[in-house]
Amino acid sequence: MAALRYAGLDDTDSEDELPPGWEQRTTKDGWVYYANHTEEKTQWEHPKTGKRKRIAGDLPYGWEQETDENGQVFFVDHINKRTTYLDPRLAFTVDDNPTKPTSRQRYDSSTTAMEILQGRDFTGQVVVVTGANSGIGFETAKSFALHGAHVILACRNMTRANEAVSRILGEWHKAKVEAMTLDLALLRSVQHFAQAFKAKNVSLRVLVCNAGAFALPWSLTKDGLETTFQVNHLGHFYLVQLLQDVLCRSAPARVVVVSSESHRFTDINDSSGKLDFSRLSPSKNDYWAMLAYNRSKLCNILFSNELHRRLSPRGVTSNAVHPGNMLYSSIHRNWWVYTLLFTLARPFTKSMVSEWLLSPPQTPSVRS
């Protein structure tokens, strides 16, 4: 019983409780068998119910299966730094002939990225996350990496990006994660990133366009465009265009664009209903930081919709997502007023770890 408690499996149903002298074990391929220490024999059927069982799903986050020198399977909990010969999934076994689930898994505002990816295996799949050294981007990159993906943190600040890589490796030393330079405020940097990525000659299963700027004072990039517009929209637009052929070759693939509900509170058309390009990259006299942010998020929505229309027949889907109302992150750091506002609202906001990662595929980019 102490061993069961150590593995977190001491809370068992009475029907499945084993008689004295019996022990539950698992094979390498996930089948459950039962050892009778009194009679020194093993069998596949539960000694009380007669049912055969197997393990359901992957190991929990932070666990890894190993084999000792005698060929016996044991399990390592990297988070709590402990080992056990009991499979932690024994609490979630299913019958040999399970019935098909009748309802779909539902998620809410408290669901974490790790919970959404529970049971998903991304081994061998390449994921690129922009702005992944902090906030939503970091949690997204970490969650993918801890589920086996080869994750590339595309960041402007390489010092902070490498620190983020170290933090992920600190949670799981076998994580496959690296940092690459990407400055969305410089189109030449976007081009260099795309070239460097293509030189790796790997597929691209998921591209998360997460990096963004908020409440910036007016400034122009070296490309002559207003900074918020270029960082939040145009840089990602250009990146997707440059990687479009890789995405199509990697199908099924997905592009996720992090937008915002604030896209509803602006417009980019003039009084005649035509696109007003001067609103996308305004002059200093016509600039308001919040409005510039809202317009860039509207551009994200329109871009994601059109990208899905064009590429979905080729196996590439695009989804725009709203990360959560008043989500507390570091995006507000550019002006003290917003920092104060976010700080006051923090008790009522979503935490970073309960943020979305990859919602189940639904209708593409529904916020238009």
Helix, strand, coil fractions of the chain, as percent rounded to 5: 35, 20, 45
Convert 174-209 to b/e letters by CB count within 10 Å (16 or more is b).
ebbbebbebbbbbbebbeebbeebeeeeeebbbbbb
Name the burial class of residue 236, with classes exposed (0-12), middle (13-18) and buried (19+) by CB atoms within 10 angstroms of its CB.
buried
Nearest to 309 by CA among 299, 301, 317: 317
Q: Do residues 48 and 179 share a domain?
A: no
Among candidates 309, 211, 215, which has minimal Cα distance to 262?
215
Rounded to whole angstroms, the Cα distance separating 142 from 175 reads: 9
Long-range contacts of 177-180 (CB under 8 A, 24+ apart): 177/141, 177/145, 177/150, 177/151, 177/152, 177/153, 178/151, 178/152, 178/153, 179/133, 179/152, 179/153, 179/154, 179/155, 180/152, 180/153, 180/154, 180/155
Of the given ranges (93-107, 138-152, 212-226, 305-319), which has the lowest mean pLDDT? 93-107
Question: 65 and 159: one domain?
Answer: no
| 5 lies in some domain | no
| DSSP string for residues in 267-308 | --B-TTSSB-HHHHS--STT--HHHHHHHHHHHHHHHHHHHH
Quickly state the pLDDT bin for 14 (edges 50, 70, 90).
low
Active-site residue flag, 328 = no
Q: What is the pLDDT of residue 281?
A: 87
Q: Is the pLDDT of residue 333 over 70?
A: no
Same structural domain, 332 and 192? yes
Taking the C-alpha atoms of residue 101 and residue 368, their distance in angstroms, rounded to an integer, is 33
- CA–CA dist 303, 309 (Å, integer): 10
- What's the whole-number mean pLDDT along residues 181-185? 98
Least confident span in 79-83, 226-230, 267-271:
267-271
Residues 124, 252: one domain?
Answer: yes
Q: Is residue 362 part of a domain?
A: no
Q: Are strands 63-67 and 73-77 parallel, antiparallel or unpaired?
A: antiparallel
Global pTM reads 0.66
Residue 356 lies in a domain: no
With respect to residue 104, please indicate whether it lies within any of the assigned structural domains.
no
Query: Do residues 83 and 119 both lie within one domain?
Result: no
Q: Do 170 and 79 share a domain, yes or no?
A: no
pLDDT, tens digit, 9 for 90 and up, residues 129-175: 999 999 889 999 999 999 999 999 999 999 999 999 999 999 889 99
**Residue 68 belongs to domain with CATH number:** 2.20.70.10
Q: Look at residue 132 and tell me if it is in a domain.
A: yes
Q: Give the mean pLDDT of the chain.
A: 81
pLDDT digits over 99-111, tens only? 444 445 566 666 7
Number of neighbouring beta carbons within 10 Å of residue 91: 18
Same domain, 256 and 220: yes
Q: How confident is the model at residue 55 (pLDDT cuts 50, 70, 90)?
A: confident
pLDDT at 4 over 70: no
Residue 333 inside a domain? The answer is: yes
In a domain, 70, yes or no: yes
Which domain CATH number covers 125? 3.40.50.720
Q: Indicate the SS3 state at residue 364.
A: coil
- Given this model, what pLDDT does residue 86 score? 82
Residues 123 and 74 placed together within one structural domain of the fold: no
Same structural domain, 47 and 81: no
Helix, strand or coil, per DSSP, at residue 330: helix
181/250 same-domain check: yes
Give the residues across from 139 on adjacent strands. Answer: none
Which entry of 287, 293, 328, 338 is annotated as an active-site residue? 293
Q: From the CB of residue 164, how many other CB atoms can be counted at a distance below 10 Å?
A: 22
Q: What's the mean pLDDT in 35-46?
A: 82
Residue 153 makes CB contacts below 8 A (sequence gap 6+) with 129, 132, 133, 137, 141, 161, 164, 165, 177, 178, 179, 180
Count structural domains, the chain.
3
Which domain range does residue 85 map to? 61-91
Residue 86 lies in a domain: yes
- 48 and 69 housed in the same domain: no
Residue 53, domain CATH: 2.20.70
Q: How far apart are CA 81 and CA 294, in angstroms?
A: 45
Residue 235 near residue 185, CB atoms below 8 Å: yes
Same domain as 46, residue 187? no
Given a contact cutoff of 8 angstroms between Cβ atoms, the answer to whether 282 and 311 are in contact is no
